[in-house]
Amino acid sequence: MKDIKKAVIPVAGFGTRFLPFTKAMPKEMLPIIDKPTIQFIVEELVACGITDILLVTSSHANKRAIEDHFDQSIALEQMLTEKEKFIELKEINEISNLANIHYIRQKEIKGLGDAILCAESFIGDEPFAVILGDDIVVNDNEPVIGQLIKTYQKFNTSILGTQEVLIEDINKYGIVQLEKKKKDGKIIDIIEKPSLNIAPSNNAVLGRYILTPTIFKYLKVQKPGMGNEIQLTDAIKSLLNEEDVHICNFIGKRYDIGDKLGFIKAIIDFSLKDQNLSCDVYKYLEEIINDRNGE
């Protein structure tokens, strides 16, 4: 069985839900207090042994900011050295040494499936991880990609990270049908954003995957599906004819940063966990609640 050393993060989207912020900045740079969302995702991969990461970008929404973030900033490092700000210097330096980060541009925005296909020559003939740029999932003991890698090591198949979602949210996700309801069950069907009446379960794929390279064979011939886009979900459905695919019902608190409420919740929770901020933030939240209650 091959080790998982490579990962793909598609970051090509317009991020329309966050306009006007995303007019000139990529949504992946939305900060959770002081750290961009994309850095959380890269750190999760690195913590799970990934050494090479391909970001699939596009010419839209100034994706250069992401490249700058993971690059060395000589001027900034010089200034921090001169001012003897060694803690900040170490932190800045570590970001540019996290992993080997590679970039490729998706020429046209043709869907998640097409974005993953752009990674074919980078990946070669190895299984690889995929994280979508929108979700931060917190598990202090075992990062989610680590949980998926463990499940991959058990079955040696593609693995989809899932959690059960509310019935009203089913039509936002790829939904799986399992042979048997188990936390690492085998998939017998998968449908992209089904309406409630045809949804086979409420088990949703939530932005984390381990894929075998066989997926490229199906992505290459995949016709546009939902939203007239080439859907990864449809290619995974075709893959089921050739290989088994399992889920990993992962453990972790998920924040959908692509959604305004999810973004706000992440900032509140992270600030309440931050030693320097938690007391003041908590006091402020109490004040607001008391005001609303007319106290």
Decide: 160 and 249 in contact? Cβ < 8 Å: no
Chain residue at closest Cβ approach to ligand G1P: 174
Can you tell me the distance from the alpha carbon of 225 to that of 194, in angstroms, rounded to the nearest whole number? 12
**Residue placing its CB nearer to ligand G1P in the complex, 80 or 211:** 211
Query: Minimum CB separation from ligand G1P for residue 3, in Å?
Result: 24
Residue 38 to residues 10, 131, 279: CA-CA distances in angstroms?
11, 10, 27
**Which two structure tokens, joined as six digits, stand for 16?**
């329309």
**Residue placing its CB nearer to ligand G1P in the complex, 37 or 231:** 231
**Which two structure tokens, joined as six digits, stand for 283?**
């006091």
Query: Minimum CB separation from ligand G1P for residue 74, in Å?
Result: 36
Report phi then psi at 137, rounded to 5: -120, 130
**Residue placing its CB nearer to ligand G1P in the complex, 36 or 174:** 174
**Which two structure tokens, joined as six digits, stand for 195?**
């309406």
**Residue placing its CB nearer to ligand G1P in the complex, 28 or 80:** 28
**Which two structure tokens, joined as six digits, stand for 123?**
């990946």
**Residue placing its CB nearer to ligand G1P in the complex, 158 or 271:** 158
Query: Minimum CB separation from ligand G1P for residue 205, in Å?
Result: 4
**Residue placing its CB nearer to ligand G1P in the complex, 28 or 192:** 192
Query: Minimum CB separation from ligand G1P for residue 109, in Å?
Result: 11
Beta strands at 52-57 and 6-10: parallel, antiparallel or unpaired:
parallel
Ramachandran area for residue 156 (φ above 0: left; ψ -120 to 50: alpha; else beta)? left
Beta-carbon contacts of residue 189 (< 8 Å; ≥ 6 apart) = 176, 177, 200, 237, 240
Query: Minimum CB separation from ligand G1P for residue 186, in Å?
Result: 18
The contact set with ligand G1P (CB under 6 A) reads 112, 132, 173-174, 192, 204-207, 231-233
Query: Minimum CB separation from ligand G1P for residue 221, in Å?
Result: 18
Can you tell me the distance from the alpha carbon of 207 to that of 237, in angstroms, rounded to the nearest whole number? 16
